[in-house]
Amino acid sequence: MLLVLALAFTAARAADPTAPADPDLNPRGRAILSWFQQLSAGSELRLVSGQFAGWSGSASIGELGRIHAATGRWPVMIGLDYCGWDKGEALLDVRQPNQLATAYWQAGGLVNLSWHAPNPSKPNGGGLKERGMDLATVLTPGATHDRWMKYLDAVAAGLQELQAAGVVVIWRPLHEMNGGWFWWGAQDPATFIAVWRHMFDYLTQTKKLHNLIWAYSPNHGQKPADAYYPGDAYVDLVGLDAYTDHINPDKIIGFERYAGIRKPIGLTEYGPHGASKPPGDYDYRRLLDGIEKNFPQLRHFLVWNEKWNPASNHFAREFYNDPRVLTRETMPPGLAGP
């Protein structure tokens, strides 16, 4: 019944696709979202750069520092994660990601924050990649729902700390939901949409978080990427996650499904070669040339860390100094920082 009510309530909402998903998004958040939208409306390829810095407890500014050392440039966005890999609430460590997020924001950069959520059906937490859970139980009164709400409260506390520090967050939870490797993935699309909308309403209305730009991030090539789309009133940015050397429609599948979604689109998670053990021999100029030739609508990217990092591959300097790549140095003044 709770799931039915959630669907009925949220389905009634409608929004101008160019308006912030959160009607009360703060002024800095509105300025950042407007920048993405202006880039999206432009005819020239301009990509907001991003680099993942690592998991909760092990993230390091060094991932971005290596790019700066190799190229003389800083990415626009630092990517971080409120990770819950194995131990449930114990690994919902918001302190270390928040320290890095605040420092990068104060230096003039943007913050992109993911959430690999622990499995609320597990009494002791964990189970990130454990299958077999019925996602509907997240919204059904009971032990799973109670644990989910505790996780949401822990996440909200971290986001509230960033809001108090003036930090705007590009919030990217429950990504790759159309794939079958995370507990929330490959479930009934209507149920996923209800869970997303419930989280949206809880964080924005109950917890009064108005520093969040909401990013929808399915995986390419799986069940149609738009099937899980929560709706224009619940999303600000969209993208595809893809690990491949080949930037073309044969290897990055499903891009055309976004044609009717009027939101700035990007590669919300990217790595050359594949999703494991990259060799570190990728020519990053191929990424730019492939985007311009085959996906000229893209306007942002977030590269994964370690050997996917451009600094661990070839032609990082040429990549980051290409005028098609926007860096922290070339951002409009006043978007981030004190």
Collapsed DSSP state (helix, strand, coil) of residue 120:
coil
| Class of residue 205 by CB neighbours under 10 A (exposed 0-12, middle 13-18, buried 19+) | exposed
User: 110-115 and 325-326: which strand pairing?
Assistant: unpaired
237 to each of 99, 217, 256, 274, how far by Cα in Å? 24, 9, 16, 24
Domains and CATH numbers, the chain: 2-6+31-323 (3.20.20.80)
Q: What is the pLDDT of residue 88?
A: 47
Q: What is the pLDDT of residue 85?
A: 60
Quickly state the pLDDT bin for 124 (edges 50, 70, 90): confident
Per-residue pLDDT at 333 exceeds 50:
yes
Cα distance between residue 77 and residue 281, in whole Å: 24
Per-residue pLDDT at 50 exceeds 50:
yes
Q: What is the pLDDT of residue 214?
A: 98
Q: What is the pLDDT of residue 12?
A: 46
Length of the chain (residues) = 338
Contact 60, 54 (CB under 8 A): yes
130: annotated active-site residue: no
161: annotated active-site residue: no
Contact 302, 269 (CB under 8 A): yes
Q: What is the pLDDT of residue 15?
A: 64
Collapsed DSSP state (helix, strand, coil) of residue 15:
coil
Amino acid at 267: L
Average pLDDT over residues 245-265: 89
Of the listed ranges 55-69, 162-176, 247-261, 280-294, the least confidently predicted one is 247-261
Q: What is the pLDDT of residue 57?
A: 79
Per-residue pLDDT at 209 exceeds 70:
yes
**Main-chain phi, psi angles of 219, to 5 degrees:** -90, 150
**What rounded mean pLDDT belongs to the chain?**
91
Contact 48, 37 (CB under 8 A): no
Average pLDDT over residues 117-139: 86
Per-residue pLDDT at 13 exceeds 50:
yes
Cα distance between residue 185 and residue 177, in whole Å: 4
Per-residue pLDDT at 203 exceeds 50:
yes
> Could you give the count of Cα atoms lying within 13 Å of 161 in the half-sphere of its Cβ?
15
DSSP states of 127-192 as a string? -TT-----GGGGGSTTHHHHHHHHHHHHHHHHHHHHHHTT--EEEEES--TTSSSSTTTTS-HHHH
Give the start-end residues of each E strand in the chain. 47-48, 50-52, 77-81, 110-115, 169-173, 212-216, 237-243, 265-271, 298-303, 325-326
Of 176, 292, 318, 329, the catalytic one is 176
What is residue 73's DSSP assignment?
Answer: -
Of 44, 269, 318, 329, the catalytic one is 269
**pLDDT tens string 269-327:** 999 998 899 999 999 999 999 999 999 999 999 999 999 999 999 999 999 999 999 99
Q: What is the pLDDT of residue 87?
A: 54
Per-residue pLDDT at 6 exceeds 80:
no
Q: In 3D, which of 286, 270, 168 has the Cα closest to residue 220?
A: 270
Q: Looking at per-residue confidence, does 133 or 321 come out higher?
A: 321
